[in-house]
A and B are shown apart, each in its own frame.
Chain A
Amino acid sequence: MKLLVNGEERNVDAPPLRRLLDVLREDLGLTGVKEGCGEGECGACSVLIDGELVNSCLVAVCQAEGSQVLTVEGLNLTPLQRAFLDHGAAQCGICTPGMVMAAHRFLLSGAPATDENVREAIAGNLCRCTGYAKIVEAIQSAAAGAQR
């Protein structure tokens, strides 16, 4: 089956129920997508499918056929990622790719980057290291930068 992954057409030969997470990590080598729980709770596996944030551990690959998939590897050191660096928003980093995808999607929405809006956008991405403080700061900083 054909998937469009990070702008590139990829041919995937996998059992239909194989998790998109495993197809991305193992078949396509995109190890930036992480597994933290296997049950759609932690968000470490977050990617965008046709522009919407999903947990790739819950997507059967047959359902992604013909779709556009964006992973962290498809971002090219965006201002958001630079804001993560500047603000210290990554500690151990395992939640970071998924967090970046959720934040990226939030910035695309153009919603005002209030504390509440930002926290709601990343509520499905668990972080155990940072307490979320600098992640929220980084996203707000990137949003402010995007407005200029």
Chain B
Amino acid sequence: MIPVTSARSLSEAYAILHQRPRGLRVLAGGTDLMVAVNARVGLDRIGHVLDIWRVPELRGISLEGATLRIGALTTYSELMRSRLMAEQLPALAAVSREVGAWAIQNRGTIGGNVCNASPAGDTLPLLLACEARFVLGGPRGERTVAADEFFLGYRKTALGADELLVRIDVPLIDGARLSYRKVGTRKAQSISRTIVAVRKGPGMLRIAAGCVAPVPLRCRNAEAAALSSGDVRAAIAKDIAPIDDVRATAVYRSRVTANVLLRLLQE
């Protein structure tokens, strides 16, 4: 039987992290970890589960000056219902609506999406395009890591062994607009074939994509080309490295990622 600690506060969670139990896994909404538990995949490598579902400090969306602060445990449903999201960053609420369906949206969290670090994570290109900052906390204190320095490799993040993702800070920019397109395998309950996010503002352009590399990533060549009226299609081909898998071929991903980007840039 795998021991579980259901923390009721951040300090209780940090106390467990401080002990650094072998094979520690963090359980939020369960939409990732419980799939593995159900499938009995890697069960012998799970030594201890830290259940953070009821840690109140990890919830809540607030506005602090020009920064939108999103608690790591914010569910997709909460993002969809939040008046602040609707006002400040509607695209993030919109992509939440394209994750799974109601039952998944009620349990899946944006923090889980970030820490799971799947290259297909639907919120990740949007957070990268917004140059979000991830606030990591633990017994040694808090630190902030920029989104595009967080994803180190395939499902590998900068999160330390004794750290939790506490909050996502999104810098708001006057006059900037975030848009995206998710191309999924069907119209609900789908994993993306490709996903592109664009943030356009005065003299500023940020482009990020998912499902086209081992990590979700910023597309800096494409950004430079778009800002200088260059060949965006050729440029993004240099940013991404898609593969063939059961959802799509590399050729498809290359072509369609560029198509989708060009369309988003037009809007």
Residue from the set A19, A62, A105, A120 with the largest chain B CB neighbour count within 10 Å: A62
> Is B39 located at the chain interface by the 8 A CB criterion?
yes
In the complex, chain A residues whose CB is within 8 Å of the CB of B12 = none
**Binary contact readout B26-54 vs A (1 if CB under 8 angstroms, 0 otherwise):** 01011100110111000000000101011
> Is B154 located at the chain interface by the 8 A CB criterion?
no
> Is A74 located at the chain interface by the 8 A CB criterion?
no
Q: A60-B30, A123-B189 are in contact. Are A39 and B35 (CB under 8 A)?
A: yes
In the complex, chain B residues whose CB is within 8 Å of the CB of A105 = 102
Question: Total contacts A to B, CB within 8 angstroms?
Answer: 90
> Is B188 located at the chain interface by the 8 A CB criterion?
yes
Query: Number of A interface residues, CB 8 Å?
Result: 29
**Given B4, B35, B39, B102, which contacts A102 in the complex, CB threshold below 8 Å?**
B102
Closest CB in chain A relative to B205 CB, distance in Å: 32
In the complex, chain A residues whose CB is within 8 Å of the CB of B104 = 40, 55, 124
Asked whether, in the complex, the Cβ of A15 is within 8 Å of the Cβ of B34, the reply is: no
Asked whether, in the complex, the Cβ of B38 is within 8 Å of the Cβ of A38, the reply is: yes
Report the Cα distance A88→B189, complex, angstroms. 25
> Is A121 located at the chain interface by the 8 A CB criterion?
yes
Report the Cα distance A57→B103, complex, angstroms. 11
Report the Cα distance A121→B106, complex, angstroms. 12
Asked whether, in the complex, the Cβ of B4 is within 8 Å of the Cβ of A62, the reply is: yes
Asked whether, in the complex, the Cβ of B77 is within 8 Å of the Cβ of A63, the reply is: no
> Is B16 located at the chain interface by the 8 A CB criterion?
no
Residues of B47-100 contacting chain A, CB below 8 A = 49, 51, 53-54, 77, 100
> Is A54 located at the chain interface by the 8 A CB criterion?
yes
Report the Cα distance A39→B191, complex, angstroms. 14
In the complex, chain A residues whose CB is within 8 Å of the CB of B102 = 53, 102, 105, 120-121, 123-124
Residues of A56-70 contacting chain B, CB below 8 A = 57-60, 62-63, 65
> Is A52 located at the chain interface by the 8 A CB criterion?
yes
Asked whether, in the complex, the Cβ of A123 is within 8 Å of the Cβ of B187, the reply is: yes
In the complex, chain B residues whose CB is within 8 Å of the CB of A125 = 101
**Given A15, A55, A60, A63, which contacts B103 in the complex, CB threshold below 8 Å?**
A55
In the complex, chain A residues whose CB is within 8 Å of the CB of B51 = 16, 60, 62-63
Q: A53-B106, A123-B187, A124-B100 are in contact. Are A58 and B4 (CB under 8 A)?
A: no
Asked whether, in the complex, the Cβ of A40 is within 8 Å of the Cβ of B39, the reply is: no
In the complex, chain A residues whose CB is within 8 Å of the CB of B37 = 17, 19, 60
Closest CB in chain B relative to A19 CB, distance in Å: 7
Asked whether, in the complex, the Cβ of B188 is within 8 Å of the Cβ of A124, the reply is: yes
Asked whether, in the complex, the Cβ of A39 is within 8 Å of the Cβ of B39, the reply is: yes
Q: A39-B39, A58-B30 are in contact. Are A17 and B106 (CB under 8 A)?
A: no
> Is B107 located at the chain interface by the 8 A CB criterion?
yes
> Is A115 located at the chain interface by the 8 A CB criterion?
no
Asked whether, in the complex, the Cβ of A40 is within 8 Å of the Cβ of B187, the reply is: no
**Given A15, A19, A54, A126, which contacts B1 in the complex, CB threshold below 8 Å?**
A15
Asked whether, in the complex, the Cβ of A52 is within 8 Å of the Cβ of B6, the reply is: no
Asked whether, in the complex, the Cβ of B6 is within 8 Å of the Cβ of A40, the reply is: no
**Binary contact readout B137-175 vs A (1 if CB under 8 angstroms, 0 otherwise):** 000000000000000000000000000000000000000
Q: Which residues of A contact B (CB under 8 A)?
A: 15-17, 19, 38-41, 43, 46, 52-55, 57-60, 62-63, 65, 102, 105, 120-121, 123-126
**7 nearest CB pairs, A to B:** A124-B101, A123-B188, A16-B4, A123-B101, A58-B34, A38-B38, A58-B30
A and B contact pairs by CB, cutoff 8 A, 17 listed = A15-B1, A16-B4, A16-B49, A17-B2, A38-B38, A39-B38, A40-B31, A40-B34, A40-B100, A53-B106, A54-B107, A55-B103, A55-B104, A58-B29, A58-B35, A62-B6, A63-B6
